[in-house]
Amino acid sequence: MKYNCSDTIAALATTPGNSALSVIRVSGESLSNLFFQLTDKKQPKPNHVYLVELLDPRDSSHMLDQVLVTYFKAPQSYTGEDCIEISCHGGKLIAANILTTLFKSGLREASPGEFSYRAFINGKIDLIQAEAISSIVSSKTEFDLRSGFKGLTGNSSLVLRETQESIRSLLMFVENELDFTEDNTSNFRNSLIENIKRISDKLTFLINSTLAHNKLKEGIRIVLVGKPNSGKSSLFNCLIGENRAIVSDVAGTTRDTLESWHEIEGVSVCFVDTAGVWESDDFLENLGIEKAYDEMLKADLLLILDEHDPFCVFKSVEEHINVENVVFIQTKSDLYDTGQHSGTCYALSVKTQKGVEFVLDAIKKFIVERQHVLPENYFYTTHRQQLILNNVSADFLNLINDFPNMELDMVSSALWNIVDTYSSLFGDNNPENVINNIFSNFCIGK
Amino acid sequence: MSNTLESVLVVGGGHAAIEAALAVSRVGLSCTLVVQDVNTLGRMSCNPAIGGLAKGHIVKEIDALGGIMGRAADECGIQFKTLNKSKGRAVWSPRAQIDKIKYQKFVNSCIVNDPHITIINDEVVDIVVNNNIVSGVSLFKNGLFRCSSVVICAGTFFNGLIHVGTTTHPAGRMGEKPTTGLSKSLQYLGFECGRLKTGTPPRALLSSVDLSKLEISLGDERPDPFSILTKTPFKPENTPCYLTYTNKLVHNHIHKNIHKSAMYSGKISGAGPRYCPSIEDKIVRFADRNRHQVFVEPEWLGSNQLYINGFSTSLPEPTQLEALRNIEAFKNIKLIRPGYAIEYDYFPARQLKSTLESKSISGLYLAGQVNGTSGYEEAAAQGLLAGANAALKLKARKPLLLAREESYIGVLIDDIITKHINEPYRMFTSRAEHRLNLRPDNVYRRLSKKASLCGLLTNNQASLVNKKLKDFEKLTGVLSSSKIKLDGQTINAKNYLKRPENTLVKNKQLASLVDNFDHDTVFQVETEIKYEGYVEIELQRIEKQAKIENTKIPPSTDYKKIEGLSSEAIERLGAVKPETLGQASRVGGVRPSDVVIISVFLEKRA
């Protein structure tokens, strides 16, 4: 997909459909004339909102709607060009009429992401910020929103730029040695490899931190595990607040896994109910058990349930899990009292609701702690950014590995490659197709 | 006075002018060389050395293009040394200490004996232009001279102003008068003009220096020559140079008198080179350093004159003397000539195409220090390219264009025609982004084919190059199928050679394979194997860049009409008028997004 930056574009910036208001955005080289045609007002003040009757530019006697309209003068606008924002009445018809009129008078309908593309082209945002805008718009939880804002305000750019700066100065350090100093390289090489390792470690830390962050954004998976008929589905229904899973006294009622998404403490959380794990001859049931094991592997938090001894169940599934975070729950406490009310195991009864709140608190505590262990300055990275960071990190590891066999001029060349790859994070090195791909993931009007 | 129309006139007598005149002749046209003073033809005006970091690479490239500098250096060198030996073969830089008098004589004889070159002792005062096409020049003594092409290599002579302390006098070099008319003529033709400065250190009387108090510095025992024409075995002189250091007393004295320095009293308006700083600069900018190196070099064999390398200065002569006398070996030093700074006019080279022809006036070429560069090697390279292109154009042949990825000269020319230069430009290896492939060893493989197509190589040169290329292929073939035994294991010879410490001659199993090849071929093949993997990655980078490098921008492009370009980009691109998208991307102030916009604009036009 290719964008053309030489004409005036317009698009609906809000979701189409029934709403109180709709916003139409217009961006182009010089819009004061268009503003005059639309509003009959000459020389509008930038950043001022006017209440006007919106006119058809081709026929000023024809009123389209009574609207609030704002004029932004380049470069103080979202796109860096002149912009007009029209807040018209909601509903499908009015906004569509206005847009049709605008297109008839020569404006072009914006492609998805085209406003942000122009903002990027005009130096208003870098690629990281552009991707953050895309992320804010598609945010489902408060956590998404917060990480999006970090990208938008340039916070993540800042951390990524910092690392870019240290790689660049490393390269300059090498270049200086190659071009300006006398032969005396053994000390230099020692301090060089130390610096390379330091940056490589920093990069690994950065990648791990952003991965942890990404994980939170993608959602925390909480998986319920236990033998058949241990009350997993009952607790599942209780936690999600509706009767999703079929509950019966028959062992092996749940054959497939069930998912339910919620927002807890501002983070996406997915509860997963699984088939009870036990030896079965039933083909279908065995398929369900396989799936249960898969879910255990993907889990961030395991709830292990048993009416008698959840620790025993844990031992039998231990080899199938790779998380450290497990909550032990003794179910059906109204029927059985095993005396296991220690700090490591919660006793509850879904029937009487006794003890359920403690399990909920434990889950909330887990989620809050997950957010707290995130280093202060870290942020969500898109798949594209993550790929680039991984490539750079791999290049660093190769460099460290090959260093003893490399002459200084080769080291410099490797660092040049790294700098080159790294700068594609920001769109600094002009890969036209990458840029166009990013912007085409936007919704229209952004 | 008139001449046949199909001739090139070269203005100047330095390194650029000489390579230009010889290149015109090799392409097969007649050339008129206008020199102010025939006795100064081929003079080395500053340091008695050729080559060095990155400059040595350029000398090798000049040789591969059929130029004379490498051959002259081999002929007249009195000490040879490869610098940067511990940092990888791509940055090994050959350097030669030169007998200046011998060099001037040698170069002179090459010019005088060339049947295509006529020398005129005169000064060009004006360029005659009709409809933006050069039609001749006005000579001070001989009047109008018709010609179809002019290559200007005036060095530091344009409005040259010499500063020694607070006194100044107009001069082109010490003892030679400057030129004033031609600079004015160029400005009248619309050329933008700027001011730069450079400096040179004092020359001392040999008998006044106590050599026993200096460290001796010798060259390599078995050096390689610069030129393919130089016969092997190469056994040049290995004349000692000397090394000493400045000290606190020297620094204090200069500090105390810094206001007397032409550069620090604000008398010089031109910007000086950051990379070849004067001693005043070094002391002010690196105040924490207790000492700086000073090389003491003979200017020619048997010379009574020493070049005090590293002590370039524009302080008054008495201050120079007093400062130097704080160094033990210089207690009784006498100067034959003080150090001085020279300010001169230059014409920012963004006004030129990559052939070094003016973008606005057909047939007018500029080369060397007038383009804002510094150094013999940089000047010579431009002279060669400008001379060759002036001649090729008259013969209606394809121009000689060198790309960044194939040569240092290509990097040099691309840099000066796209970048904003505000200090004399000198070459560094770090300016070449494809440095690993731009090695001194593979220079003939990189450039000789182009040179040969342009007619720049003599039959003798061409056949020597061919033999070199064939030997390389042959030995590469032998090695790619060779295996050796190492610690009981059989491994490919190539893999063995990739390790930095391993060489062909060191290994007994391999040494017998290379018996029939000369040292240079062995070195080339070995180096090629060592750099193979890295060069491969560079080539991928070049390929990625190729699309924008090859996209031409029509000269008539009006950047104001390209919507979305930043205003800074519009201004800079309008001034530079780059020939390709690649050049545009390197113009200062142009952002990657601007390049995208231009590329979209060009596609729409296409």
For A385-416, how does the pLDDT look when each residue is reduced to its tens digit (9 = 90+)? 888 899 999 999 999 999 999 999 999 999 98
The predicted pLDDT at position A336 comes to 75
DSSP B164-182: ETTEEEE-SBTTB--B-HH
The predicted pLDDT at position B541 comes to 81
Q: What is this structure's pTM?
A: 0.79
CA distance A154 to chain B (A): 19
Looking at residue B158, the DSSP 8-state letter turns out to be: B
Range scoring the smallest mean pLDDT among A298-307, B117-126, B585-594: B585-594
Query: Which chain A residue's Cα is nearest to B565?
Result: A122
Q: Compute CA distances A138 → A132, A135, A223, A382, B84, whole Å.
A: 10, 5, 26, 13, 55
ipTM entry: 0.83
Q: How far apart are CA B352 and CA B422, in angstroms?
A: 16
Q: Are A115 and A11 in contact (CB under 8 A)?
A: yes
CA distance A68 to chain B (A): 28
The predicted pLDDT at position A386 comes to 85
CA distance A175 to chain B (A): 6
pLDDT at B421 over 70: yes
β-partners of residue A59 are: A56
Flag whether residue B435 sits within 8 Å of chain A, measured between CB atoms.
yes
Q: Which residues of A touch B564 (CB under 8 A)?
A: 5-6, 118, 121-122
Phi, psi values for residue B126, rounded to 5°: -155, 150
Cβ-proximal residues to B530 (8 Å cutoff; 6+ apart), any chain:
B89, B497, B498, B500
The predicted pLDDT at position B272 comes to 64
The B residues from 306 to 345 touching A (CB cutoff 8 Å) are none
Q: Is A401 exposed, middle or buried (0-12, 13-18, 19+ CB in 10 A)?
A: exposed
Query: Which chain B residue's Cα is nearest to A175?
Result: B430
CA distance B593 to chain A (A): 5
Percent of chain B with pLDDT strictly greater than 90: 68
End-to-end CA distance of chain B: 48
Per-residue pLDDT tens digits of chain A, which is 446 residues long: 456 667 899 998 887 777 889 999 999 988 988 999 899 888 889 999 999 999 888 888 888 899 999 999 988 998 888 999 999 998 778 888 999 999 988 898 888 778 888 887 777 877 777 777 776 666 666 666 676 666 666 666 677 888 888 888 888 888 878 877 665 667 889 999 999 999 999 999 888 887 877 777 778 899 999 888 888 888 898 888 888 788 887 777 777 888 888 888 878 889 999 888 776 777 777 788 888 888 888 888 999 999 888 888 888 888 878 777 888 998 888 887 665 556 678 888 888 888 888 888 888 888 888 877 766 666 667 777 888 899 999 999 999 999 999 999 999 999 988 988 888 887 665 444 444 544 555 454 44
Q: Which residues of B touch A428 (CB under 8 A)?
A: 592
CB contact under 8 A, B597 and A121: yes
pLDDT bucket at B326, cuts 50 / 70 / 90: very high
Question: Strand (E) positions, A7-157?
Answer: 9-12, 21-28, 48-56, 59-72, 82-89, 108-109
Phi, psi values for residue B582, rounded to 5°: -60, -45
Residue range B325-341: mean pLDDT, rounded: 95
The predicted pLDDT at position A9 comes to 92
The predicted pLDDT at position A433 comes to 46
DSSP B258-312: GGGSTTTTT---SBPPSSS--HHHHHHHTTT-S--EEEEEESSTT-SEEEEET--
CB contact under 8 A, B498 and A175: no
Q: Which residues of A touch B593 (CB under 8 A)?
A: 120-123, 427, 430
The predicted pLDDT at position B288 comes to 77
Q: Compute CA distances B420 → B243, B348, B356, B371, B587, whole Å.
A: 36, 8, 16, 12, 8
Q: Which residues of B touch A180 (CB under 8 A)?
A: 275
The predicted pLDDT at position B188 comes to 94
Residue range B404-415: mean pLDDT, rounded: 95
Cβ-proximal residues to B309 (8 Å cutoff; 6+ apart), any chain:
B47, B201, B294, B295, B296, B297
pLDDT at B333 over 90: yes
CB contact under 8 A, B87 and A4: no
pLDDT at B501 over 90: no
Range scoring the smallest mean pLDDT among A96-100, B241-245, B268-272, B313-317: B268-272
Q: Are B107 and B76 in contact (CB under 8 A)?
A: no
CA distance A41 to chain B (A): 26
Structure tokens belonging to residue B566: 């930043």
**What is the tens place of the pLDDT at every residue in B55-80?**
999 999 999 999 999 999 999 999 99
The B residues from 356 to 395 touching A (CB cutoff 8 Å) are none
CB contact under 8 A, A175 and B430: yes
Q: Tell me the average pLDDT of chain B.
A: 91
**Testing the interface with A: which of B55, B495, B596 to mutate, by most A Cβ within 10 A?**
B596
CB contact under 8 A, B500 and A406: yes
Flag whether residue B534 sits within 8 Å of chain A, measured between CB atoms.
yes
The predicted pLDDT at position B294 comes to 93
The predicted pLDDT at position A245 comes to 80
pLDDT bucket at B152, cuts 50 / 70 / 90: very high
End-to-end CA distance of chain A: 16
pLDDT bucket at B2, cuts 50 / 70 / 90: very low
Residue with the bigger pLDDT between B156 and A279: it is B156
The predicted pLDDT at position A154 comes to 61
The predicted pLDDT at position A431 comes to 41
Q: How far apart are CA B477 and CA A384, in angstroms?
A: 43
